[in-house]
């Protein structure tokens, strides 16, 4: 590159004894630089088209990938009646509000570990958040669903203890031992709840939506809500009393005071207190233990028939079982609950989004074609200005093929540079969008990953450049040198 | 040596031009005089292989240039024939030096930057080597064109009205340089002109009558 700038010596220093493609390429480049404004116009137009296409390709790809990653093998989502897409967006992607609550009395059957059709059921109690990160009351089953493991600390065990996803920890600078108050809804600042949540553990990053969740016990959600409503209705039970109703469920806070901050303390506590198995955080997190603990948590939830949860994520034992396949329909037809099928709803969503994306992509291709036209026009008009110098190149020994190649190279160079510029634009745009996407759609987004489709886009761009240069190049090759030079 | 035999050429739908046979020995300098419209430029293009005669032949050294294929002729012209036009044209995106290097590359011979620097120095353009050609004056452009025509040490130098756009001082200078540099490479020089100022400067003259 620096050689090009070195003026005359760059060309002169070449030891080649004929006009190589490299030399021609340099000449093309200098010809383009000689008309910087023309070049800039063609480049910007081309970059705009390529950039838009690349942006769409990347957005589409990453959205699809994120959607698919977060499908996490979930076969069915059971929740309150309403829009099935909303239920899924809320329960699986955590971008929408719940459709409502479902009473455990009616949904407890799905939580039963002995259910003949259900392999895994994850109850979710949603509705609160902290700095836009959603707090989910759930069981350890959610860890199996998203293949999540602990990075440090412990799993949530007692009420008001939370284990947070990696993104939450990083974004909010939360550490083990920190406490915070939740707020109602997914938006910050609306009616803060009184109780403090305490961070006891942080999960390793998984790339799925669990990275962005704050996990706690279902009871904690109930408690923070009940506590609030207790102000208006004193007869409703409050935290401590509630727990005592169900000693199997959770221990009193006094028994785990300081617990969760380090695991040795908990082991000790287990030895001392040791009255129930669910009160202490697990010291071993192998999948069998987790499943066992999760099932125990579900069993205890099943007894709380007076309470509500938001939804249940379900994985079938067998996807080919006819009864499993009918389960969703049966729920929708014969119960007050709603069952939504994630693959179907997401496919529908993608089809709808896809139509928009396709239209935009068409538009972007139109821009690319127009920019090809601009390359054509700029090369064609430059031929008129350059006809003498092209004729002189013939006089100096250049063949018609040389001139043809020269103009083609100019077209390809414009297209290639326009492509590069467009790709840089698009990925800068993606980097810019990445923050926004993460905040509002719970997507982790990588701006500097390149798709195979972008290499095809390069081929397409070069093809446009070639076609745009073809006619001018043929014209240049056909220059009648005698006639041209006789004129001037 | 440059010679022609019974050259004839006609443009579409016009009467054909016949040219007297020419024979210029190696290293000789000739002036070809004629009024405008008598076919001087056509003859020069025939000699330079830019046009193909309908009849007759042009022989340069041992080669009948009309027997060459199109691509052979392009290379042959680049190497063996230096042509200087009334209005010199250059690749505008390149500097004077780069234009001369391009002349060598196009002719298929290695770029010799010493030769280029020396020639430009010889023609008083040494300081213009890294300058774009559009900043040159008319006289400088014509001298740069001479330098470019000579860079490949051609056997024949053809000049078409090289002085018509120049004042007397520049004309004398250009003619002197043409003759001197042509002699330095022992090239046959043929200047085609209607410029009366050149008459007394050349001993060998051909008159072309329309």
pLDDT tens digits, residue range A280-289?
565 556 778 8
Contacts of B78 in chain A (CB under 8 A): 395-398
Task: Determine which of B10, B47, B50 to mutate to test the interface with A (most A C-beta atoms within 10 Å).
Answer: B50
Q: What is the pLDDT of residue A250?
A: 35
Q: What are phi and psi of A483, to 5 degrees?
A: -65, -45
Distance, CA of A88 to CA of A99 (rounded, Å)? 10
Residue of B180, B174, B139, B140 whose CA lies nearest to B159 = B174
Interface contact flag, A17 B108, Cβ < 8 Å: yes
* pLDDT tens-digit readout, B188-206: 999 998 888 888 888 898 8
Kindly state the average pLDDT of the residues A390-409.
92
The number of CA neighbours under 13 Å toward the Cβ of A211 is 20
Task: Quote ipTM for the complex.
Answer: 0.92
Confidence of residue A440 (pLDDT cuts 50, 70, 90): low
Q: What does pLDDT average to over chain B?
A: 90
Alpha helices in A309-450, H assignment, sequence order: 322-334, 342-395, 400-441
Which has more confidence, A417 or A442? A417
Site of tokens 């014509």: B142
- Is the confidence at residue A11, as pLDDT, over 60? no
Residue stretches of chain B with pLDDT short of 70: 210
Interface contact flag, B113 A13, Cβ < 8 Å: yes
Question: Least CA distance to A481: which residue of chain B?
Answer: B50
Q: What is the pLDDT of residue A265?
A: 36
Distance, CA of A133 to CA of A187 (rounded, Å)? 9
Residue of A158, A288, A262, A149 whose CA lies nearest to A211 = A149
Which H helix or E strand runs over A220? helix A218-230
Contacts of A398 in chain B (CB under 8 A): 74, 78, 106
* pLDDT tens-digit readout, A160-206: 899 999 989 988 899 998 988 887 766 655 566 667 889 999 998 88
Which of A62-66, A269-273, A339-343 shows the lowest mean pLDDT across its residues? A269-273
Which has more confidence, A69 or A291? A291
Q: What are phi and psi of A151, to 5 degrees?
A: -95, -45
Interface contact flag, A18 B41, Cβ < 8 Å: no
Sign of the C-alpha dihedral computed for residues A49, A52, A55 and A58 taken in this order: negative
Whether the predicted model's global pTM rises above the 0.95 cut? no
Q: Is A372 exposed, middle or buried (0-12, 13-18, 19+ CB in 10 A)?
A: buried
How many interchain CB pairs under 8 A, A with B?
118
Sign of the C-alpha dihedral computed for residues A141, A142, A148 and A149 taken in this order: negative
A191's tokens: 């009616």
Q: Which of the 8 DSSP states describes residue B199?
A: G
- Is the confidence at residue A259, as pLDDT, over 60? no
Given B42, B91, B97, which is nearest A8 (Cβ)? B97
Q: Measure A9 CA to nearest chain B CA, in Å.
A: 8
Q: Measure A380 CA to nearest chain B CA, in Å.
A: 17
**CB contact B97 to A (< 8 Å):** yes
- Is the confidence at residue A252, as pLDDT, over 90? no
- Is the confidence at residue A230, as pLDDT, over 60? no
Q: Is A28 exposed, middle or buried (0-12, 13-18, 19+ CB in 10 A)?
A: buried
């Amino acid at each position: 590159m620096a050689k090009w700038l070195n003026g005359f010596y760059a060309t002169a220093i070449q030891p080649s004894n004929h006009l190589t493609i490299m030399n021609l390429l340099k000449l093309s480049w200098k010809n383009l630089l000689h008309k910087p404004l023309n070049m800039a116009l063609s480049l910007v137009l081309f970059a705009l088209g390529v950039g838009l296409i690349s942006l769409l390709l990347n957005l589409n790809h990453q959205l699809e990938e994120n959607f698919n990653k977060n499908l996490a093998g979930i076969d069915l989502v059971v929740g309150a009646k309403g829009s099935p897409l909303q239920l899924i967006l809320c329960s699986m992607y955590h971008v929408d509000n719940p459709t409502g609550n479902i009473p455990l009395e009616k949904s407890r059957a799905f939580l039963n570990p002995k259910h003949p059709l259900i392999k895994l059921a994850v109850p979710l109690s949603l509705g609160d958040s902290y700095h836009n990160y959603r707090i989910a009351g759930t069981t350890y089953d959610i860890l199996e669903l998203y293949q999540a493991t602990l990075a440090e600390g412990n799993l949530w065990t007692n009420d008001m203890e939370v284990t947070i996803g990696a993104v939450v920890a990083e974004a909010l600078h939360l550490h083990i031992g920190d406490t915070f108050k939740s707020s109602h809804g997914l938006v910050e600042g609306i009616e803060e709840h009184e109780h403090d949540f305490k961070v006891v553990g942080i999960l390793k990053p998984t790339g799925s939506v669990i990275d962005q969740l704050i996990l706690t016990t279902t009871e904690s959600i109930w408690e923070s809500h009940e506590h609030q409503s207790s102000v208006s209705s004193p007869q409703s039970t409050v935290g401590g009393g509630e727990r005592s109703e169900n000693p199997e469920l959770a221990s009193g806070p006094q028994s785990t005071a300081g617990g969760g901050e380090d695991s040795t303390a908990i082991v000790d506590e287990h030895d001392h207190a040791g009255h129930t198995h669910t009160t202490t955080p697990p010291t071993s997190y192998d999948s069998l233990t987790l499943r066992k603990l999760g099932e125990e948590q579900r069993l205890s939830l099943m007894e709380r028939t007076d309470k509500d949860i938001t939804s249940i994520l379900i994985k079938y034992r067998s996807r080919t079982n006819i009864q499993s396949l009918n389960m969703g329909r049966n729920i929708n037809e014969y119960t007050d609950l709603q069952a939504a099928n994630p693959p179907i709803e997401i496919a529908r969503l993608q089809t709808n989004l896809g139509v928009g994306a396709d239209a935009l992509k068409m538009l972007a291709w139109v821009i690319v074609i127009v920019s090809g036209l601009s390359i054509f026009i700029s090369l064609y008009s430059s031929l008129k200005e350059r006809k003498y110098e092209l004729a002189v190149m013939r006089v100096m020994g250049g063949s018609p093929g040389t001139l043809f190649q020269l103009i083609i190279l100019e077209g390809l160079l414009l297209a290639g540079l326009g492509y590069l510029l467009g790709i840089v634009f698009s990925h800068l745009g993606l980097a810019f969008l990445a923050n926004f996407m993460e905040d509002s759609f719970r997507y982790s987004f990588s701006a500097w990953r390149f798709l195979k489709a972008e290499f095809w886009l390069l081929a397409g761009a070069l093809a446009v450049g070639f076609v745009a240069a073809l006619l001018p190049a043929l014209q240049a090759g056909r220059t009648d040198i005698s006639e041209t030079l006789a004129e001037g | 040596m440059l010679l022609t035999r019974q050259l004839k050429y006609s443009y579409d739908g016009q009467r054909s031009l016949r040219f007297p046979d020419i024979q210029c020995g190696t290293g000789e300098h000739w002036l070809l005089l004629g009024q405008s419209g008598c076919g001087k430029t056509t003859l020069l293009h025939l000699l330079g292989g830019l046009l193909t005669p309908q009849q007759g032949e042009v022989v340069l050294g041992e080669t009948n240039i009309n027997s060459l294929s199109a691509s052979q002729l392009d290379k042959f012209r680049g190497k063996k024939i230096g042509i200087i036009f009334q209005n010199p044209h250059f690749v505008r995106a390149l500097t004077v030096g780069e234009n001369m290097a391009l002349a060598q590359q196009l002719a298929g011979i290695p770029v010799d930057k010493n030769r280029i620097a020396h020639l430009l120095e010889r023609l008083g353009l040494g300081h213009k080597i890294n300058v774009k050609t559009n900043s040159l004056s008319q006289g400088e452009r014509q001298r740069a064109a001479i330098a470019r025509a000579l860079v490949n040490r051609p056997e024949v130098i053809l000049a078409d009205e090289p002085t018509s756009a120049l004042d007397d001082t520049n004309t004398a200078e250009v003619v002197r340089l043409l003759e001197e540099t042509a002699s330095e490479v022992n090239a046959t020089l043929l200047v085609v002109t209607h410029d009366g100022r050149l008459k007394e400067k050349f001993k060998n003259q051909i008159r072309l009558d329309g």
